[in-house]
Structure 1
């Protein structure tokens, strides 16, 4: 059977699909690894038998066609020799007298535009076979005084008395029109339809637009020049074998699709069966639940009845107990009335005593309030005196700060002070006046900045240029300018050092300043690390970064160490900011004095009211 498959050119995969067995099993049967089941052998036998019978039927049909071709009225002759000759080419035209076209064994033969018209009407799409460059060139272009046509139209009429075509009419018509845009319109019995419908109807009588019903010019030459395989393909097309093979191939594909859908259906059915089993179990559980619910209701009713009986018995006992208690209650009520009369007498006595106590307590409250008010007046007066002394001290500090500020401006370089005095637009001030430094970092920040404390921060290089030209013109001196639009901040990159013990942080992050000045501040302080002492700096590694200690020792990245006792000229905190803080504190103290004075007035007024009462 397996040899028969090979001779029939049927693959094991195709055979396996037909009999429902994996093609791997067929391979194992061939190698005799496993023995096939009898049922599978029967299926394989039936499949091979069907294929052999099918081949025999096709062969008989083919032989019948060949017999018809050999025994027909067509004269068959052998072309002995074909030679090409030089010179002008000749065209040989065969025709039948009185009628230039004829039908032989279902083949249309003609040597005129009539065949082109027939091929056009039955749906041919080959422009070359219709002897035109484009379809719209088939339309009449005019001539001899006649106007050009808008459309080209051909209508064929077919005899349908034998009901070859699937219509009841004895005659059917097929029409094809084409407009100048190259759009084709098909009609069947005068009704619009599609090309596919036309081809389907004509196929009933074995008429095809691209078939061999019509032998066009050059077709005979092409057939002569074909090799045997190509001629065989033409014979297959004419005899219907090719169509059969196409239908077979399509049927095989459809069978494969059906098989796949069957497998999918099996999977769905399996899943549905599992769902059915689960639903059946749920149904049984629901029925069992209903049965148990009924039993539960019965048991509940029985339990309720038993409880009602017990409650009735208990109720009788309680009623007897209530009667007994009511009698005892009457006795107790008489005793309570006697006790209440005694209580009323004693309450009357207590109210008289309480009235006397209230009178005395009011006097005590008045005395206590008077004492409180006098004490509060004395305390507020002391607070007022204390605040006034504090205000005097603050005034003294403000005066001293103003003197320090004046001395600080006097200590600025002559060129820097001259620029500040000019109040030039775009000049924001020196670095020392534009930052606010916590007390514990003042020395470290001052040493970290060095000579940059007196650098002037300006908005742009244009402003810096104008200031430098002014200093040159007036011959005042030199100053350093930090233009915000050009200055490049120096950022601290070794972030790992910030995690070490004793490291306080990057200098620029330990001070307060307006964010507009960030580039200039980062330029001055951005690359300096503030640490607690020299020991911390040594632990971090001399030369790894520029570091300054809280008491003013400086370690440069180059490895140079600068230190010793540091003499401070002045605080870094701007005097104006400190003065403003003191002014706020002074205002707050004045507000407290006003509040205390108002409280003293209220207390004195209350004392007068209490004295009158």
Structure 2
């Protein structure tokens, strides 16, 4: 295609090419595979199809446009129908494109409207959430303010408490100082008074001695008698004082007992009057019942002469009376049992209260003894013969046990040193070999010290088998290379070699990662690796860091691990192979195998079995040495303590503190036994009280049930009586009604009076027992007063 491209007005060309005529050429040819290949040129310049389309598009020429009329289009346009022709004209005029754009715009509008609705919903949700967040923000701000106020209040409170504590401490210190001053003054006063007392006693002794010296013969005997009489007089006066105090205490007790006795007698008198009144009520109720029974019997006899229905009603009333009598007896018995159970429960409660009070008393006595024991412990001298003897016995037992431990530790240390010496001798014999255990341990310590940077470790330390079953085969595959030391570069290797030479550390093979190179597996090895029975290359069966991959490949030398010797024989030649049993087949055809101890080959994880064994032996020696030193030091300390305790025992003097402690222990034992006994009694009394309380509740419930049965019997009798009254003449009905009312009231009065009599009898018995106890107590106190008076008179007579 050739286009005219002359400049238009303004010098602008339709095509952005500086030529008046522009030729667009497309050449199509077939390649060797008979596939079409196109090449494009604009003028004489080769371009791509994309560049050609872009250049035409800039001029308004498109491949799907209507500016190029194809051959046959005019004929088709002339022969087509009007409808199709209109469509072509609309397409040429751009109407179709406009309609499609309208449809596209409508579709986009619908999408946008849907998006707007979605956005509105999202906006409403966000606004609601925003309002909620605003409220939460307000609450959070309020909480923050309240939290700050609370923290401030706590700070102020803490400061106030601190100031109060400081003031209290200051006041307590001041009080302590005051009390300390008072205590010091009192101590000084006590010391001075004690000194004065000692002086007076010394003077008294001196005076007595002078009197003894001056007295001779009869005068001395008279003085001795006077002194004896003075002692007896003082003793008698003390006894008189004791008897007076006992008499005064007895008088106080008599007044107390007399007051209680008067109260008990008044209560007994009142209770006797109540019982007599209740008995009179019972007598009156019995008379009323007899009179009601007589009236009712006369009325019922009159009714017996009536019709059959009246006789039936009369018999029903008689049965109701019998049931009422039974219910009355049952209720009376139930009330009696209830009163007895309540009385027993009250007595058990009083007994429990007395035992609890007694328990408190004995507990206080025991606590007082414990306080006395604490005082004795505080007063306990530093040097106590009994405690020192116990301590010495314990130290002797410890010393005996430590001697046995020292002997065993010494034997263990000698054995560990002997084993270490043997192992070192064996290592020194192998020390000339490169990569010996001595060399590896020396380099390991050098790496740990940080003197030379860049020592990564031995291959045995840096690699490990992926499968434990391949460990022996991989160990023989690496061979001595397992003890090769991997370093970061050749400078580190040179420094290590220099250090080994200067320090006599032996010889070692170093693998510098920056210089060493490993050859790839050749075709023969790759082919054999695919055969049956071949497990894989040794370097693929090891687990290691990618940094040392070159060193691992170098040491493995493209060795194949195979299942058995048969597999190795089938594939031998040009490839190095190692069986799982450790047999080696070299690439040259040489074969190595047989039996070997595990310790004769390097092992994974460090400096080999020999190095690991050496470390274990050294560790065993260190542990044995530490144990021996510890036991020896402990034994020396125990012996020093034993000597100190013996010296303390020899320097002790006799003291009564141990006697006081023994007496205190005996008193505590007795007090504790009393506490245990009373506690057991309290537990038993509580159980008895609970049992009686439960029985009382059951008895009360039974009494209530009996009372309900009695009420039911009363209702039955009342209904029977009313039925009989309604069927009898008026005068007989009036007699029966009056008799029924009298009977009901009399039964209630009798029941209430009998209950009062029973309850009063129990109370009267308790009060009489109390009265007798108080009377005996008063008599006992009077006897004490009489004995004290008689003793005082006798003592005064003697004085």
Determine which structure has greater relative contact order: mean sequence separation of CA pairs < 8 Å that are 6+ residues apart, divided by chain length.
2
Q: Is the shorter-chain TM-score for this pair beyond 0.5, marking a shared fold? A: no
